[in-house]
Amino acid sequence: MTQLRWGQATDTGQVRSINQDSMHADAPLFVVADGMGGHRGGEVASAVAIETLLGSLAEPSTAALVESVQIANGTVFQRAQDDAELRGMGTTLCAVALVSDEAGERLGLVNVGDSRVYLLRGGALSQLTEDHSLVESLVRQGRITEDEALVHPQRNILTRALGISASVDVDAWEMPAVTGDRYLLCSDGLFNEVEPPVIEATLRKLADPSEAAHELVRLANEGGGRDNITAVVLDVVEGAGAAATATRMTAAAEPDLGSLGAPADTAPQPVVALPPTPAAEAEAAAATGVADVATDVGGLAGGDPPPVASPSSAEPERKRRRVTWRVLVFLVVLVSLVVGVGWLVSSYASGSYFVAFDGDEVVIEQGRPGGFLFWEPSIEQRTGTVRDELRPVAVERVEAESSQGSLGEAEDLVQNLERTSSKPGA
Ligand code: MN
C-alpha cells in the first residue's frame, strides 16, 4: 500500500483583494486551481471546478481523472453561460491522484492551464507539467527565452483553461509511486515570485510537507506577492514503484505553426482563451483544422518528398501544389485574423483607466473596471487619499468605477475629488 503525507497553504498575496485560487488536499486526490474572471468569477470557477472533480471521480484511474476534469470543464462553462455576472470566467487546474489497477498503485497527473506540478526526486526539482500559456508556446518555438518569458507583458494569457468552451484537451501522465518522491502542486503566484533553485532548496530543507508549503507561500509573499499563492506538497512516504520517469497518457496536441514558414512577426498560436462566443467557437474549430492540415503542409512546404507509402503521393503533382497554396493562404488569413482580434481585445482591455478603492485607499487602475476577459486591471497609481477623507458623494463617485479615457483624465478626477472634499466638514 502506498503511503502519502501532505500539507498545503494558500494566501491572497500582497496586491490582490481576494483569493481566486482554490485547492484540495486529501488522499487520494490533490488539486490546485487558479481562477480568472472579473469580480467573483475567478473564485467561483476554481471552486466549482474542484467541487465537480471531487464529486465526479468515480474510480481510481487516470482515465477517470481526465474524464472528471472534462466534466468539471463542462460545469464551469455552463455556469458561466447561465450567469451574466460570471460570463467569461475560467480556471486552471492541475491534480495528482493515487490510482490503481491489477498492475498496482501509481500516481495519475492531469493539467490544464499554467498551474504546475513539480517533482523533487533525489534532491533535484523538475517540472512535470507543461504550461498552456502564450509565452510558453513562444519559448517552445524559440521565439523568446525563458528569461524573457518571466517579464513578458502577455505572460498571463492562457492558451487553454477550464470553462472557456464546451470541451477541453487535458494533459495526463502517470508516475510510479516511488518512496521519497515529493510532489509540489502550485499556482503561478508561487513560481512567478520564487526562483526554481529556491523552491528546490526549500523542498529539500523542510521535511514536514505542511511546513514546506507554508514556507513557499511566505517566500512568494516576500518576493512581492503580486498574485494569489497556493502550494500543495505531497510526499510518497512509502511506495512500491521503481524510479522511472513520467509516462504521457495524452498526445501533445498543440500545432506548431512556427515551422510552417508563417511570417516571424505574427502570433504563433491561436489563443483559445477567448470568451465563449460563437465566433470563438468557430475559431477553435478552425484551429483544429489547422492542426490537421499542418502536418500535411509542413511536409510539402519543407520540400521533403512525401513518404512513398503515403496514399496522397499517388495524386498528380499539380493538384497537390494547388491544394498547398490554398491551405497556405487560408493559414495566413486565419493567423492575421487571430492576431487582429487579439490586438483589438488587448488594446480595449488595457486602453483605459478608472478610479477605484483598493481597500480604503483611492487608486487609479489601468484596464476595464472588473477586468475584461483575462485582462485584470492593475494599479497604476496610488493617491494616498483614503475613504474617510472623502465626502459621501465622492465616495459614491469612486465606487462607481467609471472608465476614464486616459490617465490624465483619471488624475483630473482624483484631483477634483480631493479638492472638493479633502477634509470632512471643511
Ligand atoms: Mn494566478
Residues 243/175, Cβ–Cβ less than 8 Å: no
| Average pLDDT, rounded, for the chain | 82
How many Cβ atoms are within 10 Å of 309's Cβ, its own excluded?
6
* Residue range 247-265, pLDDT digits in tens: 888 765 554 433 333 333 3
Length of the chain: 426
Instruction: Locate 133 and state its grid cell.
Output: 500559456
Q: Which of 303, 322, 341 finishes a domain?
A: 322
Q: Tell me, what's the pLDDT at 318?
A: 41
Find the mean pLDDT for residues 353-379: 84
Q: Is the pLDDT of residue 168 over 90?
A: yes
Ligand 1 centroid from CA 153, angstroms: 15
Given the C-alpha cell 488595457, which residue does it identify?
350
Cα 30 to ligand 1 centre (Å):
18
For residue 284, the CA-to-ligand 1 centroid distance in Å is 24
Q: Count structural domains, the chain.
A: 2
Residue 111 CA to residue 165 CA, distance in Å, equals 16
User: Which of 14-23, 35-44, 138-147, 285-294 is predicted least confidently?
Assistant: 285-294
Judgement on whether residues 381 and 352 belong to the same structural domain of the protein: yes
% of the chain beyond a pLDDT of 90? 50
Looking at the whole model, is its pTM more than 0.85? no
Report the pLDDT averaged over residues 384-400: 83
Q: What is the pLDDT of residue 422?
A: 55
Band the pLDDT of 322: cuts 50, 70, 90.
Answer: low
- Indicate if 251 and 393 belong to the same structural domain: no
pLDDT tens readout for residues 127-167: 999 999 999 889 988 999 988 888 888 887 899 999 999 99
CATH number at residue 19: 3.60.40.10
Are 331 and 305 part of one and the same domain?
A: no
Query: Are 294 and 385 in a shared domain?
Result: no
pLDDT, tens only, 101-118: 888 999 999 999 999 999
- CA 175 – CA 338 distance, rounded (Å): 37
Give distance in angstroms: CA of 56 to centre of ligand 1. 25
The whole domain housing 333 covers: 324-426
Q: How far apart are CA 192 and CA 115, in angstroms?
A: 11
CA of 200 to the centre of ligand 1 (A): 20
Listed residues 291, 322, 353: the one ending a domain:
322
Contacts of 352 (CB under 8 A, 6+ apart): 366, 367, 368, 403, 404, 405, 406
User: Which residue, 246, 222, 26, is CA-closest to 117?
Assistant: 246
Verify that 191 and 224 share a domain, yes or no: yes
- Do 315 and 353 reside in the same domain of the chain? no
Please check whether residues 215 and 360 belong to one and the same domain: no
Ligand 1 centroid to residue 196 C-alpha, Å: 17
Residues 194 and 135 grouped into a single domain? yes
Dist. CA 209 → ligand 1 center (Å)? 22
| Co-location of 135 and 159 in the same domain | yes
- Under a CB-based contact definition with an 8 Å cutoff, are residues 107 and 177 in contact? yes
Give dist(CA 77, CA 81) in Å, integer.
Answer: 6
* Strand, helix or coil for residue 348: helix
Calpha distance 117→125 (Å, rounded): 10
Q: What is the pLDDT of residue 154?
A: 83
On whether both 54 and 203 belong to a single domain, the answer is yes
Cα of 13 to ligand 1 centre, how many Å? 10
186: pLDDT strictly greater than 80 = yes
Whole-number pLDDT of residue 280: 38
As a whole number of Å, the CA-based R_g of the chain is: 24
309 and 342: one domain? no
Residues 170 and 111: beta-carbon distance below 8 Å: yes
- Centre of ligand 1 from the C-alpha of residue 163, in Å: 16
Last residue of a domain, which of 322, 350, 370? 322
Q: By C-alpha distance, which of 231, 219, 131 is closest to 187?
A: 231
Q: How far is the CA of 373 from the centre of ligand 1 (A)?
A: 14
* 3 state DSSP class of 69: helix
* Cα-to-centroid distance, 361 and ligand 1 (Å): 24
CA of 156 to the centre of ligand 1 (A): 8
- Same domain? For 198 and 293 the reply is yes
CA–centroid distance, 376 to ligand 1, in Å, is: 11
